[in-house]
Amino acid sequence: MLSSRVLLIATTAHLVHSRIYSSSRSFMDLKALLCSLNDFASLSFAESWDNVGLLVEPSPPHTVNTLFLTNDLTEEVMEEALRKKADLILSYHPPIFRPMKRITWKTWKERLVIRALENRVGIYSPHTAYDAAPQGVNSWLAKGLGVCTSRPIHPSKAPDYPTEGTHRVEFSVTHTQDLDQVVSALKEIAGVSVTSFSARADDEEQTRLSLNCTQQALMQVVAFLSQHRQFYQKTEILSLEKPLLLYTGMGRLCTLDESVSLETMIERIKSHLKLSHVRLALGIGKTLESPVKVVALCAGSGSSVLQGTDADLYLTGEMSHHDVLDAASQGISVILCEHSNTERGFLSDLRDMLDAHLENKINIILSETDRDPLHVI
């Protein structure tokens, strides 16, 4: 009897130890989690007008055990997140977009902030960063089309310049005795890097100087050169561009391996988005039997992204009446699925990707109350 009790105590102790160990692995510091989320999809991919990143932060230190995913953070969704003990809400759409002048109980968005802070819940929004990301919302939407190759309609630019500085200045020094004086003076300007190489012009050996410089340093370089015109000739000033990212950007232009009828494509899209109905505008001269080979798509509101793109079909959540007319007049059919219906399904894929990216360190759950506000009745 005694041995059984000892065994029971030992077993219980082992279970308690296991739970403590498991619990210790199910937390992440908020700052560490934000770094990991940025590694997954950099916020630098977001559009300049967007409001992305950490929008509400509880007083530090703040640890996260449960990450709650939603497409839209409404008051109903907030209550669900609180019931499920969320520590951080990842809301695809930013609940704070326009500046707030006060935080009162008057409007629903102000109340969201109050509820979050009262319950020590952070709010994070990636929005267009996830639209642009290679593994993001638009790539997920393209999965419903069938086997295809795709590329961004509007590629993103890399966050950094390929070299130091924003401009390159090149000029030739005609007299070698002046070279050291010129190089020495330029190197004293902060934000300038100097390289030189031999060149030949008009049967004369020259030294060509190439300067990479920041916007601020450029003005000082130009001022120096304008004061010492005897040192140089044939000056060129180039504005450096950030390189385009091949698989990152807004929208997707998808070319199917095999053409299908518009009717077949509609059924594929409805199945992928789990919708019973979509809205369709037939392009001029098109029928449900017309072939579809190229699809231009943009999750959410796609007018500005899709406009001017040559395709058989536009797929998006919503477009203005006149933009639909413009597309149809060009023989391009348009499928509209309502704004968030083209985004929400991505969250299931996101949960799986984040589980792997975060090495299962925290609990990640999906909202069950989040839904598009519009219904077909």
**Known binding-site positions for a divalent metal cation:** 93, 131, 339, 343
Strand partners, 89: 68, 123
Non-local (6+) Cβ contacts of 117 within 8 A are 56, 58
- Say if residues 86 and 62 touch (Cβ distance below 8 Å): no
Asked if residues 231 and 173 have their Cβ atoms less than 8 Å apart, the reply is yes
SS3 208: strand
Cβ-count burial of 275 within 10 angstroms (0-12 exposed, 13-18 middle, 19+ buried)?
middle
Q: Please, are residues 354 and 364 in contact by the beta-carbon 8 Å criterion?
A: yes
Q: How far is the CA of 136 from the CAs of 36, 247, 248, 360, in angstroms?
A: 16, 11, 9, 20
Cα–Cα distance measured from residue 261 to residue 274, given in angstroms and rounded to the nearest whole number: 20
Query: What residue type is assigned to position 277 of the chain?
Result: H
Annotated binding site: 93, 131, 339, 343
Task: Answer for the pair 353, 374: CB distance below 8 angstroms, yes or no.
Answer: no
Q: How far apart are CA 147 and CA 254, in angstroms?
A: 9
In this structure, what token pair is assigned to residue 327?
Answer: 């597309």
Question: CA 151, 154, 157, 158 torsion: positive or negative?
Answer: negative
Q: Are residues 314 and 368 in contact, defined by beta-carbon separation less than 8 angstroms?
A: no
Max Cα–Cα distance, the chain, nearest Å: 106
Cα separations in angstroms, 12 against 4, 7, 17: 12, 9, 9
The SS3 call for residue 174 is coil
